[in-house]
């Protein structure tokens, strides 16, 4: 019997040994291959004055110029306006000949590809328009490398991204991911927060506690060493970084669009904000219900996902509102990521869309209340039927009114 236990222990230890597999990678244009790799743009200003980094060349008086820094180098960009649109791009790297960019249509303007550079710097520029005027210009990180391998008995598609366009793939901001075939087939787009930094293990971990990690990356992205071993970084640390970056991405966009968004949604800029936000638990729904029972307070569960922009509209506009915050403090509050919730609370409560806020009595029973919202003119109106949750984003005025109704119904 003891020999059998020893053999089993040896077999378990052997099965959990580290596996190392070298992976060869080839460069891929993200506009030509799925999944599409979309990283935040790095915006820059276009000016009329030609800088020294853009050597003289015959351009029209409508030409615009910019200088960006990549990999410690100053890169000159020139854009001309043939036939009323910034369609001609020139990339200047050092004193060499300028590289011609090719313009192609994008959702809100043009993407100018600088794809034939002999220099290590390769980048795309996205130009967004309002009419014929350029509203924004930004570097579009769109180059990545891909390869296939098998590790731990499973095939993986490995994707490595040069996130800042400096021609290297081993920087702190560069990213990687290793997808199983089923996940690859259902993934249409990969964003910065979906992927991992070089020193981070892939989440979720394997059933035996090991995780996929990258041990070494060739600077030019031609290869990497993939490892299956005990993780050096905790799952919680990876998730905290991901959440912080999602918030950063969304909040940067919200700040840019705030004036038009407030006008459209009737959000008065003068409403006072809370000095410090109310605290939200980060526990499963069952534990939150137990806390509500102990405190004899109703429970409000906020179901969201890290990739749902409307979830962060609450954080940016609604929850910091002072009136809303004062009402929230009369609840036990819990935030639940619907994608990671082991209790599958989203389905259990019958939620139809995200984000949603689901109230419960202190005894854990669902609360029915008369739900109200704004119409397009800003006028408040009630739903005909009672509801059990607040679905979708709400501004502070209507959300505060719904919180008052929930508190009254939960007595």
Please, what is the Cα angle at 224 between 223 and 230, to 5 degrees? 165
Q: What is the pLDDT of residue 362?
A: 97
| Same domain for 311 and 226 | no
Domain boundary, last residue among 140, 173, 200: 140
| Same domain for 197 and 130 | no
pLDDT at 56 exceeding the cut of 90: no
Lowest mean pLDDT among 18-32, 175-189, 227-241: 18-32
Domain membership of residue 4 (yes or no) is no
| Same domain for 192 and 312 | no
| Same domain for 215 and 340 | no
Q: What is the pLDDT of residue 4?
A: 46
| Same domain for 391 and 359 | yes
Q: What is the pLDDT of residue 279?
A: 92
Domain membership of residue 59 (yes or no) is yes
| Same domain for 247 and 227 | no
Q: What is the pLDDT of residue 204?
A: 85
Average pLDDT over residues 293-308: 93
Domain membership of residue 13 (yes or no) is no
Domain boundary, last residue among 108, 125, 140: 140
Share of the chain above pLDDT 90, in %: 41
Tell me which H or E stretch contains 337: strand 332-337
Q: What is the pLDDT of residue 83?
A: 55
Each residue's pLDDT tens digit, 355-399: 999 999 999 999 999 999 887 777 788 887 788 999 999 999 999
| Same domain for 56 and 23 | no
| Same domain for 83 and 209 | no
pTM: 0.62
Q: What is the pLDDT of residue 7?
A: 42
| Same domain for 219 and 361 | no
Indicate the number of domains in the chain: 3
> What tokens appear for 78 in the block?
């020139």
Q: What is the pLDDT of residue 322?
A: 95
| Same domain for 187 and 257 | no
pLDDT at 10 exceeding the cut of 50: no
Q: What is the pLDDT of residue 8?
A: 40
Q: Which domain holds residue 91?
A: 42-140
What's the pLDDT band for 113 if we cut at 50, 70, 90?
Answer: confident
Please, what is the Cα angle at 191 between 185 and 195, to 5 degrees? 80
| Same domain for 300 and 258 | yes
pLDDT at 313 exceeding the cut of 60: yes
Average pLDDT over residues 128-139: 76
Give the span between the Cα atoms of 385 and 370, in whole angstroms: 7
Share of the chain above pLDDT 70, in %: 86
Q: Residue 330's domain is classified under what CATH number?
A: 3.40.30.10
Domain membership of residue 1 (yes or no) is no
What are the CA-CA distances from residue 335 to residues 254, 285, 371 (Å)?
Answer: 21, 9, 21
pLDDT at 132 exceeding the cut of 60: yes
| Same domain for 203 and 93 | no
Domain membership of residue 129 (yes or no) is yes
Residue 378, sorted as left (phi over 0), alpha (psi -120 to 50) or beta, turns out to be left
């Amino acid at each position: 019997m003891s020999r059998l236990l020893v053999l089993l222990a040896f077999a378990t230890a052997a099965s959990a040994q580290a596996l190392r597999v070298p992976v060869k990678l080839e460069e891929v244009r993200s506009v030509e291959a799925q999944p599409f790799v979309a990283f935040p743009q790095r915006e820059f200003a276009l000016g009329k004055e030609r800088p020294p980094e853009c050597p003289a060349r015959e351009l029209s008086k409508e030409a615009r110029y910019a200088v960006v820094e990549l990999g410690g180098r100053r890169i000159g960009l020139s854009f001309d306006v043939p036939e009323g649109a910034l369609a001609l791009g020139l990339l200047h790297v050092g004193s060499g000949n300028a590289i011609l960019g090719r313009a192609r249509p994008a959702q809100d303007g043009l993407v100018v590809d600088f794809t034939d550079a002999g220099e290590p710097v390769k980048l795309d520029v996205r130009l967004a328009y309002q009419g014929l005027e350029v509203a924004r210009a930004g570097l579009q990180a769109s180059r990545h490398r891909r390869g296939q391998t098998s590790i731990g008995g499973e095939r993986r598609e490995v994707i490595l991204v040069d996130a800042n366009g400096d021609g290297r793939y081993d920087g702190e901001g560069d990213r990687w991911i290793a997808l199983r075939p089923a996940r690859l087939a259902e993934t249409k787009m990969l964003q910065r927060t979906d992927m991992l930094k070089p020193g981070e293990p892939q989440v979720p971990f394997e059933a035996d506690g090991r995780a996929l990690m990258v041990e070494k990356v060739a600077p030019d992205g031609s290869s990497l060493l993939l490892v299956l071993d005990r993780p050096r970084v905790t799952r919680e640390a990876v998730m905290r970084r991901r959440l912080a970056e999602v918030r950063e991405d969304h909040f940067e966009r919200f700040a840019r669009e705030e004036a038009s968004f407030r006008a459209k949604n009737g959000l008065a800029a003068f409403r006072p904000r809370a000095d410090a936000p109310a605290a939200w638990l980060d526990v499963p729904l069952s534990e939150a219900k137990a806390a509500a029972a102990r405190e004899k307070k109703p429970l409000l569960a906020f179901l969201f996902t890290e990739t749902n922009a409307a979830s962060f509209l609450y954080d940016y506009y609604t929850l910091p509102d002072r009136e809303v915050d004062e009402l929230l403090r009369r609840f036990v509050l819990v935030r639940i990521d619907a994608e990671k919730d082991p209790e599958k609370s989203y389905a259990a409560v019958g939620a139809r869309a995200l984000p949603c806020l689901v109230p419960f009595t202190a005894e854990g029973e669902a609360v029915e209340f008369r739900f109200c919202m704004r119409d397009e003119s800003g006028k408040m109106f009630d739903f005909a039927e009672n509801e059990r949750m607040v679905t979708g984003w709400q501004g502070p005025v209507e959300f505060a009114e719904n919180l008052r109704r929930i508190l009254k119904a939960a007595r």
